[in-house]
Amino acid sequence: MIIKYFVVGALALIIVSGCSDDSSSNTAVSPKVDQSASTEADVRKTKTETTTIEIGKDYHSFGNPESIKVKHLNLDLTVDFTKKILLGTAQLDFQKIDPKAKQLVLDTRDLTINGVSANGKPLDFTVAKADSFLGAALTIDVPADVNDVVISYQTSPEASGVQWLTPEQTAGKEHPFLFTQAQAIHARSFIPLQDSPQVRMTYDATIRTPKDLIAVMSASNDPDTERDGIYEFSMPQPIPSYLIALAVGDLYFKSMGERTGVYSEKGILDAAAAEFSDTESMLIATEKAFGPYSWDRYDLLILPPSFPFGGMENPRLSFITPTVIAGDKSLVSLIAHELAHSWSGNTVTNATWRDLWLNEGFTTYLTYRIMQMIYGDERFEMEAVLGRQDLQADVDSLAASDQIMAIDLRGRDPDVVFSNIPYEKGALFLRELEHKVGRENFDKFLLGYFEKFAFQSITTEQFVSYLEQTLLKDHSTKLSKQRIQQWVFEPGIPDEAPVPESDAFSVVDQARNAWLTGAIQASEIDSEKWVVHQWLYFLNNMPDKLSQEQLANLDKAFSLTNSKNNEIAHSWLLISVNNWYQPAFKRLHQYLTSIGRNKLVKPLYKALSQTPEGKLMAQKAFNEAKEAYHPLTVKANEGFVE
């Protein structure tokens, strides 16, 4: 997922699908909407503090996979850019876990359900009252002889998991663009399904678009496909719903290797392919260390700048922000991260969002290992130090309950789980295990783990049990159950946890200290051979307060306000806001209105909101950019400008 960080409306237009397979859509039974009963979430919120978590229960889904479990999805959707809706049908094939089960319960959010049928006959269904962030349960009465249903539906223009971009909001400026973002629980806003990571299914899809655009999905994509407006996809491996992804735009493809390539708008295609040209080498190295790649191809889709995340690990086709195209491959650890998800996350998946660290902690650990294999020890060490600092910053700012890897999210929007706790704390825990048992032994453990739980969704407790049966049993003098429990179920960073170090940062510390004490001028800092990681370390470890003269000298010496590297610019602009360095404010406004990646814009909005003058600047930028921001970016930042 999704990497490192991270509105729904009720409006729905009723349009009968013109491309549906559902011949009964005009005669289907109308939905019965229950507006009186309390939602499951309402009840749950009142019990959170007095009840024990039921291990493996997904508190963020209304689905009933314990009774009836969806096994395959067949989509047939038309993309309507004029009305900003997807409309068509979803056929769900399911297995009756309980032979006596009579109802299939699905998750929806702001969907208009036009009809439900099976074997050409309409079925009764009920749409419950909507919860504020979980959406509404769709309950379908299922006869005993029925094992699949066809749902005719359409999305809302405000679907939380779909972003519609005008031509002006794209790189090419000529065609509209659409992309989806399903994690954590946004798949339900564009498909009625059991929107839970513990429900894995295969899928097929037919996507109908304007003929001058191309559709791609987290499935089999044909780089040589004809632009005919009808695109067919197949995902033969079972995946959780949050990995279903669709994008439609004026896209082109360029190969980067035998199994890797990149899709993007034409204007950035060559730059993207050059920036990420090491992807094939990453894939080969990861296979050699951690087992076969299970997904056929690994391609990248470079999205418009409004994409709210660094990347999203959609299988076969990772969605990537253009903000990491720096021209020097300095930010490609994000590609390594999304690739690593092909093992940890996509193949072995967290069963609930409480268990997210199983996805992201393992993936972050693998990311460091991939970067070491491809770029060497020095870069590995620098990135590990920066990751440790990111973790400490979150530990210092988050409530104790949010510092626990196996976090209690009952009654809360699962989008809040995305912090450095599941990512960096999870990775640091695994790094400690590696240090204690040795890399060779730990790699053997990882290979066994990925093989044993392949294409399964597991809980934290299942992992801990497996760890106790393997590493803890084999290395009982080096590992302890108490220490494992402390890492996973207690807040903070345990004492004597690994502390990464980098010799490459020593010279940076010396230069910064010499400049801060006045021993040298900014222009005398010998930074000619510094890489991006050293610049980030230089800026991120500055004191909270700097004088206007100091800031001006730094800016004059290194043109930081005009940096083309989005990560360096972010660090500098944050320093500028906190010290009210006005010469950077024009760039700050441009930055906030041209990038939608939450990791980069959210800290800036938060810092601006601390003063009346800053809040006015934030409001101006937010109001200008809001239309182009993804709904998740709007949700994450609107509180700072109110």
Q: Which residues are the active-site residues?
A: 338, 423
Compute CA 339 distance to the chain's CA centroid, rounded to the nearest angstrom: 13
Nearest of 301, 336, 332, 334 to residue 319 by alpha carbon? 301
Q: What is the DSSP string of 97-146?
A: SSTT--EEEEEESS-EEEEEEETTEE--EEEEPPBTTTBEEEEEE--TT-
- For residue 122, with 0-12 CB atoms within 10 Å meaning exposed, 13-18 middle and 19 or more buried, which class applies? middle
Taking the C-alpha atoms of residue 503 and residue 509, their distance in angstroms, rounded to an integer, is 10
Is the separation of the CB atoms in 366 and 291 below 8 Å? Answer: no
403 DSSP 8-state letter: G
Token couple for 579: 């010290």
Is the separation of the CB atoms in 40 and 62 below 8 Å? Answer: yes
Nearest of 162, 96, 352 to residue 240 by alpha carbon? 352
Strand order through the sheet with 32-34: 32-34, 125-128, 136-141, 103-108
Is the separation of the CB atoms in 500 and 384 below 8 Å? Answer: yes
Taking the C-alpha atoms of residue 59 and residue 45, their distance in angstroms, rounded to an integer, is 10
Residue tagged 């360029």 (tokens) = 254
The H or E element spanning position 434 is: helix 426-437
Token couple for 532: 């991006």
Token couple for 578: 């906190």
Is the separation of the CB atoms in 486 and 513 below 8 Å? Answer: no
Taking the C-alpha atoms of residue 438 and residue 443, their distance in angstroms, rounded to an integer, is 9
Taking the C-alpha atoms of residue 530 and residue 640, their distance in angstroms, rounded to an integer, is 35
Residue type (1 letter), 417: V
Query: In residues, how long is the chain?
Result: 642
Taking the C-alpha atoms of residue 474 and residue 451, their distance in angstroms, rounded to an integer, is 19
Residue tagged 């196996």 (tokens) = 406
Count of CB atoms within 10 A of residue 71's CB? 17
Residue type (1 letter), 128: A
Taking the C-alpha atoms of residue 428 and residue 407, their distance in angstroms, rounded to an integer, is 17
Compute CA 127 distance to the chain's CA centroid, rounded to the nearest angstrom: 28
Q: For 456-611, where are the alpha helices, taking DSSP H only?
A: 460-469, 471-474, 481-489, 506-516, 532-540, 548-558, 566-578, 585-592, 598-608
From residue 186, how far is each of 37, 57, 68, 196, 459 by CA, in Å? 24, 19, 21, 10, 21
Taking the C-alpha atoms of residue 299 and residue 256, their distance in angstroms, rounded to an integer, is 9
Is the separation of the CB atoms in 48 and 187 below 8 Å? Answer: no
From residue 47, how far is each of 53, 185, 354 by CA, in Å? 10, 22, 17
Residue type (1 letter), 130: A
